[in-house]
């Protein structure tokens, strides 16, 4: 496995060979995701480019460490950017033609903040018990309570609801105790 800082440094140094490799190995997944979620080829290209720019800017500013492999991390950044883009377009449409011009730097800053929140969430999720981790992953994947009763061999959906509630609270407490939490809640 390649050190993830290798890719980040390549982005920072504008290393065409490595950046082309990143495109070749990752763009098709992002394109597929965007096309399946109300987007076009151009949207996918824009999102991918924004994600690479966001990673380069953030790495230049704070030399962060990616704790997973680079490809899934990049894909998550792209997914988050596309979801934000979709949400932004909903807001613009509902404001009846009033479109606010937004600064790209503000967009990048908000995307970085969102990514840091996602990292804190995932790191905290890894710290809770294995049972809670399984329960919450199924819950976040929108698995029904009835299915979870079967999977965990619980007595009822009420038991599942209680377990989900307790696990969510455990996760919430871990997140709140993290020293990064306060800075990630300020806007």
pLDDT digits (tens, 9 = 90+) for 5-54: 888 888 888 888 988 999 999 999 999 999 999 999 999 999 999 888 88
Mean model confidence pLDDT for the chain: 81
- Say if CB 108 and CB 56 are below 8 A apart: no
Distance CA 16, CA 18 (A): 6
Q: Give the E-state strand segments of the chain in sequence order.
A: none
Kindly report the pTM of this predicted structure.
0.55
Q: Which two tokens stand for residue 107?
A: 């967009």
pLDDT for position 85: 86
Give, in degrees to the nearest 5, the angle at Cα 139 between 137 and 141.
70
Report the percent of the chain where pLDDT is more than 90. 21
pLDDT for position 25: 92
Under the phi-then-psi rule, with left for phi > 0, alpha for psi from -120 to 50, and beta for the rest, what region is 97? left
End-to-end Cα separation, the chain, in angstroms: 36
- Say if CB 19 and CB 38 are below 8 A apart: no
pLDDT for position 86: 87
Query: Where is pLDDT greater, at 126 or 108?
Result: 126
pLDDT for position 87: 83
Q: What is the DSSP string of 103-122?
A: -HHHHHHHHHHHHHHHHHHH
């Amino acid at each position: 496995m390649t050190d993830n800082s290798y890719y980040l440094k390549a982005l920072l140094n504008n290393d065409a060979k490595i950046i082309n490799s990143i495109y070749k190995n990752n763009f098709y997944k992002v394109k597929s995701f965007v096309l399946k979620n109300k987007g076009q080829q151009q949207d996918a290209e824009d999102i991918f480019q924004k994600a690479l720019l966001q990673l380069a800017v953030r790495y230049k500013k704070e030399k962060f460490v990616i704790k997973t492999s680079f490809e899934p991390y990049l894909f998550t950044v792209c997914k988050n950017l596309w979801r934000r883009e979709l949400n932004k377009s909903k807001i613009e449409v509902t404001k009846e033609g009033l479109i606010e011009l937004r600064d790209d730097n503000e967009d990048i800053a908000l995307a970085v903040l969102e990514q840091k929140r996602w990292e804190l969430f995932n790191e905290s999720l890894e710290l809770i018990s294995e049972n809670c981790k399984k329960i919450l992953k199924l819950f976040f994947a929108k698995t029904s309570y009835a299915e979870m009763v079967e999977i965990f061999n619980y007595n009822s959906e009420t038991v599942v609801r209680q377990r989900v509630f307790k696990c969510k609270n455990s996760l919430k407490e871990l997140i709140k105790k993290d020293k990064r939490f306060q800075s990630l809640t300020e806007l």
